[in-house]
Amino acid sequence: MSSDKKIKIGLFGFGVVGQGIYNIISQQPELPIEIVKICVKDSAKQRAAPTELITTNKNELLQNSDIDLIVEVINNSDAALEIVQEAFANGKHVVSASKKMIAENLESLLEHRAQSNVSFLYEASACASIPLLRNLDEFYQHDNLKSLKGIVNGSTNYILTKIFEQNLSFEVALAKAQELGFAETDASLDVEGFDAKHKWIEVLLHAYGIKLKQEQLLNLGIQNIKKQDVAFAAKNNQTIKLIAYAKKINDEEITAFVLPQFVDNNSPLAFVKNEFNAVQIESNFAGEQVLYGRGAGSLPTATAVISDIIAVKNGYTYTYPKSKLANTLSFTNKQEIAVYVGFENLPDIPINEFSKIEKIEDSKEGKFIIGKILVSKLLEQQWWRKPSVSLITLAEPIAVQIKKEYSREKELAEVAPM
């Protein structure tokens, strides 16, 4: 397909992202992309696209032999799955931004894609504008990364920024994130950490070749964070971010979770504000690197979709080079993490479940416990999900450091002239 001919696409969805895709393509006629049809739910709505492009009949796209590639950016994950499967069955390439649909059906989608021998790219679904998945596959192909720490949900980062910097209430900040088109139609997916979890399942596949099921990855959002937690962070020169975390804890095992985390004010992730996302990568050889950019919004998300369309036109498909690691690397939740647990009533907290208690404060100064607890225990139990309890990991939740330590000093010493 890497000819001079334009790649012909059928677009499902004309919401925030679909419209962004249409705008970028129509404003740049030199792009090697032609939109043949746009399928929408409601044909009566006024749209900034020629009416002859619009249809409500999915077969005009899926059965259209003129269309090479289906772009799917709708907000209903069941309908999205049907579209993608039918596109595969009809031998059409797919570019998708539906993280929930992808994370929930990872195994079967990868199988169907392979059988159909088409490309299936979904960069926009992970961190909108940040070129993350292709870089994890290609650039870091040789690097069995030591850790990844990400802010991968724009809405919650926007809300936390407004709470910390403008003292806005949670509700007002969420309403603004919705108005700006950052939040999902069902905003609880953002607020409760499910959207971040879906994205992290994709990231873990590309970074480590691990295919996780929903129930294996611990997640909590920002819904329980209270004023006293915000004050505790500020007192310690920290902020709170919703962090998707993954770390190799030894040569054979990796652990991961999505939880609110205290972040030092001078750490790179503390500078990630509003709807921006960032992923801090700890490479075995390059040390720390940060990928940063807008994690939500119309044009930032659309730009990743367009980049994927052009990549497909150029013959690119994910090859999942990290999947060979799956033979030597396994996922575990049997890992202690250092946490702060804010509470209203101390008896609500099962203290015996902690493997170590560092501090209990139950006074006017604050109401919290600092200690260590196994991720697997949290997964089995529900007490920490209560609205009166706020579970937040400390800035360095896992202390272990594996070998192959990158050291700038060591490197300089090794290359220093004799």
Q: Does 155 bind ligand HSE (CB under 6 A)?
A: yes
CA-to-CA separations, 123 to 22, 88, 306, in angstroms, rounded: 18, 18, 10
Task: Enumerate residues 6+ apart whose C-beta is below 8 A from 221.
Answer: 156, 190, 191, 192, 193, 194, 196, 242, 260
Check binding of 340 to ligand HSE (CB under 6 A). no
81: contact with ligand HSE by CB under 6 A: no
Q: Are 71 and 11 in contact (CB under 8 A)?
A: yes
Residue (of 63, 54, 15) closest to 36 by Cα position = 54
Cα–Cα separations (whole angstroms), residue 155 to 101, 186, 245, 296: 19, 12, 18, 8
Per DSSP, the three-state class of 138 is coil
Closest separation in Å from C-beta 296 to ligand HSE: 4
Angle between helix 106-116 and helix 77-89 axes, rounded to 10 deg: 20
The CB-of-129 to ligand HSE minimum distance in angstroms stands at: 10
User: Is 199 among the catalytic positions?
Assistant: yes
Nearer to ligand HSE, 150 or 154 (CB): 154
Tell whether residue 153 is a contact of ligand HSE (CB under 6 A): yes
Using CB under 6 A as the criterion, what x/- string covers residues 345-384 for binding ligand HSE? Answer: ----------------------------------------
Question: Helices marked H in 223-349 — which ranges?
Answer: 227-235, 298-313
Residues 164/227, Cβ–Cβ less than 8 Å? no
How many residues line the site for ligand HSE (CB under 6 A)? 11
**Residue 132 within binding range of ligand HSE, rule CB under 6 A:** no
- Is residue 195 at the binding interface for ligand HSE, with CB under 6 A as the rule? yes
88 or 182: CB nearest ligand HSE: 182
Closer Cβ to ligand HSE, 184 or 336, answer by number: 184
Catalytic residue among 146, 199, 241, 322: 199
User: Nearest to residue 392, comparing CAs of 362, 366, 369, 409?
Assistant: 369
Identify residues 283-322 at the interface with ligand HSE (CB under 6 A). Answer: 295-296
Q: Which residue is nearest to ligand HSE (CB)?
A: 155
Instruction: Indicate which single residue of 72, 184, 282, 336 sits in contact with ligand HSE (rule: CB under 6 A).
Output: 184
Q: 300: which 2 tokens? A: 């930032």
Please give the residue ranges that form the binding site for ligand HSE (CB under 6 A): 128, 153-155, 182-184, 190, 195, 295-296
The residues that are catalytic are: 199
